[in-house]
Amino acid sequence: MDTLNHPCADLGLELPSLLEWHHHPECQVDHIVIGKGPPGGSWQAMDGNVLTISLGSWMELPGIEFRAWEAAENAGVISYRDSRASVSSVARYYYDYVHKQSLARFFQSGCVVTSVRPLDTSRSQNTETIDPETGVQYSEPQALWQVEGFDLSDSIPFCYICRKVVLATGSTDVPNRLGIPGELANPTWVLHDLRSLEAAFDRLVDGEEGGREGVPTEPCCDPVLIVGAGLSAADAVIAARFRSLPILHVFRKTAALGTGSTQLPENMYPEYHKVHQMMGDGGASYPCYRALAEHTVLEISSDHKVRVIGPDNTVSVHRVSVVAILIGSRPDLNFLPPGLSLGVKPSEPVDCRSNPIAVDPYTHRVVKAPPGMYALGPLAGDNFVRFLQGGAVAITSHINKELRHYTVL
Ligand SMILES: Cc1cc2nc3c(=O)[nH]c(=O)nc-3n(C[C@H](O)[C@H](O)[C@H](O)COP(=O)(O)OP(=O)(O)OC[C@H]3O[C@@H](n4cnc5c(N)ncnc54)[C@H](O)[C@@H]3O)c2cc1C
């Protein structure tokens, strides 16, 4: 479906969609969308200043063109460079979308789901009855799933009994950790997400010097330690550089492998290519940046010292101001019954990149769950927004077919 909706997107082209969307009110499925935060999911929790890696049109949903929406929102001023959207615009677009498309009544925001369980099979069966007048056999679907949780504002619990459950909880709830001593003991300056990191950087700049400008020749404070070689770590390097903070960048890969940025075209993603270049030359192109390729952090002590080991097993100690550990994240599926192994590799925990939930590609039904459970987005291995719509159409189409089947057998 993505091929029809965004033709040649993988070549970086932005061609008009070949799809037309029509509203079919008769196909509407009664539903409720439960989320910890406002509509927009993880986009509401990301650092709004960062540019997405996607073109604006790849982030849009049916019925409201992203570019037109953004131009109207910002009185003609658009935030994207070379068509890339800013995270803050995307977050506002999704929030607005839900309201403009009159979907807000389906959303139960500020609520956490704590348990999703299949009800016992005897209650899950369809009750088949024959209409005495027409002789038509009806199949009455019974509740299959029990979804429990509570409202974050007042802790009031809720419980739904439903036939279908769609898992769309994304991949960002549990940041990956190094699992080293001191990592969790210093939460004010050892951080695992970009948003709190930016706030820590601002505090550092305010505390140490006030707003400095330009490339410094003398470091203003101990370096910020950035751990990781992905795009989030690159974003942290960019954010620290923007504030002229000294940087110590530790990553396990060789400098030549660098960030995932090498797969991105340089003309569209110059900032990531700059970081890749800095990682490669170890800091020669930027005086306050030092790369420790093929290094691993061993320990973080509360006096702001970190022990790092290199490829030749040499251990070095560095004093740092802030530590940013940006090595990916994984979904939190603790609300599912224990023992339900949903991944493509059932013996391993679900991981959106290496072990997504196994789904039927035509219906997005979870293959290893009782009937009525679906998965969407990164959970099902679709890690970009533009792939989500195919999953959503597969699920709604299957639910509609099943509902029609239920009505008259
Ligand atoms: C740093 C970063 C940058 C990205 N950049 C891009 C990009 O440039 N382009 C692109 O296309 N994609 C990008 N993505 C991927 C994109 O964010 C996802 O594909 C998309 O957000 C997935 O949507 P989703 O609704 O499935 O999950 P999410 O957007 O992750 O939303 C899931 C929501 O469910 C909530 N939730 C989880 N558990 C529960 C629970 N028990 N109860 C209630 N709520 C719960 C979560 O808190 C979250 O708010 C990026 C992702 C990250 C992390």
- Which pLDDT does position 272 carry in this prediction? 86
Return the percentage of the chain with pLDDT > 70, whole number: 86
- Which pLDDT does position 130 carry in this prediction? 59
- Which pLDDT does position 198 carry in this prediction? 87
Q: Bigger pLDDT: 267 or 109?
A: 109
Average pLDDT over residues 257-284: 75
- Which pLDDT does position 404 carry in this prediction? 76
Distance CA(154)–CA(128), nearest Å, equals 41
Average pLDDT over residues 32-46: 94
Task: State if residue 378 touches ligand 1 by the CB under 6 angstroms criterion.
Answer: yes
Average pLDDT over residues 186-212: 81
- Which pLDDT does position 75 carry in this prediction? 61
pLDDT band per the 50, 70, 90 thresholds, residue 137 = low
Q: What are the Cα distances from residue 232, in Å, to 46, 51, 169, 308, 372?
A: 11, 11, 20, 21, 35
Range scoring the smallest mean pLDDT among 51-60, 162-171, 177-186:
51-60
Task: State if residue 51 touches ligand 1 by the CB under 6 angstroms criterion.
Answer: no
| CB atoms inside a 10 Å sphere around CB 220 | 18
Q: Is the pLDDT of residue 212 over 50?
A: no
* DSSP letter for each residue of 59-88: G--TTS-HHHHHHHHTTT----STTEEEHH
> Tens digit of pLDDT for each residue in 214-264?
445 556 789 999 999 998 999 999 999 989 899 999 999 886 555 555 667
pLDDT band per the 50, 70, 90 thresholds, residue 161 = very high
Distance CA(258)–CA(183), nearest Å, equals 24
Query: CB neighbours of 253 closer than 8 A, spacing ≥ 6?
Result: 229, 293, 294
- Which pLDDT does position 209 carry in this prediction? 45
Q: Is the pLDDT of residue 284 over 60?
A: yes
User: How far does the centroid of ligand 1 lie from the alpha carbon of residue 206, in Å?
Assistant: 31
Task: State if residue 57 touches ligand 1 by the CB under 6 angstroms criterion.
Answer: no
Mean pLDDT over all residues of the chain? 86
Give the architecture (CATH level 2) of 177-327: 3-Layer(bba) Sandwich (3.50)
Domain boundaries, the chain: 2-172+330-407, 177-327
Mutate to test the pocket of ligand 1, among 42, 173, 382 (most ligand atoms within 8 A of CB): 42
Instruction: Match 């005495």 to its residue by tokens.
Output: 132
- Which pLDDT does position 211 carry in this prediction? 42
Residue 319: beta bridge partners? 305
Task: State if residue 36 touches ligand 1 by the CB under 6 angstroms criterion.
Answer: yes
Return the percentage of the chain with pLDDT > 90, whole number: 58
Range scoring the smallest mean pLDDT among 5-9, 275-279, 296-300, 403-407:
403-407
User: Which residue has the CA at smallest separation from atom 53 of ligand 1?
Assistant: 172
Mutate to test the pocket of ligand 1, among 5, 95, 169 (most ligand atoms within 8 A of CB): 169
Q: Is the pLDDT of residue 210 over 50?
A: no
Phi, psi of 116 (to 5 degrees): -130, 110
Helices (H), 26-179: 66-73, 87-100, 121-124
- Which pLDDT does position 273 carry in this prediction? 86
Range scoring the smallest mean pLDDT among 172-181, 359-368, 399-408:
399-408
ipTM of predicted assembly, 2 dp: 0.97
| Nearest atom of ligand 1 to the alpha carbon of 59 | 11
In 310-402, at which residue ranges do the beta strands (DSSP E only) sit? 315-319, 322-325, 329-330, 373-375
Average pLDDT over residues 322-334: 94
Q: What are the Cα distances from residue 307, in Å, to 11, 315, 332?
A: 43, 7, 30
Phi, psi of 308 (to 5 degrees): -130, 140
- Which pLDDT does position 49 carry in this prediction? 78
User: How far does the centroid of ligand 1 lie from the alpha carbon of residue 118, in Å?
Assistant: 25
- Which pLDDT does position 136 carry in this prediction? 60
Task: State if residue 332 touches ligand 1 by the CB under 6 angstroms criterion.
Answer: yes
Q: Is the pLDDT of residue 315 over 60?
A: yes
Q: Is the pLDDT of residue 45 over 90?
A: no
| Nearest atom of ligand 1 to the alpha carbon of 194 | 1
pLDDT band per the 50, 70, 90 thresholds, residue 113 = very high
Give the architecture (CATH level 2) of 2-172+330-407: 3-Layer(bba) Sandwich (3.50)
Average pLDDT over residues 94-98: 96
Common-topology check for domains 2-172+330-407 and 177-327: yes
- Which pLDDT does position 35 carry in this prediction? 97
User: How far does the centroid of ligand 1 lie from the alpha carbon of residue 387, in Å?
Assistant: 13
Q: Is the pLDDT of residue 183 over 60?
A: yes
* CA triple 184-187-189, angle to 5 deg: 120
Cβ contact 249:224 at 8 Å = no
Range scoring the smallest mean pLDDT among 94-98, 140-144, 150-154:
140-144
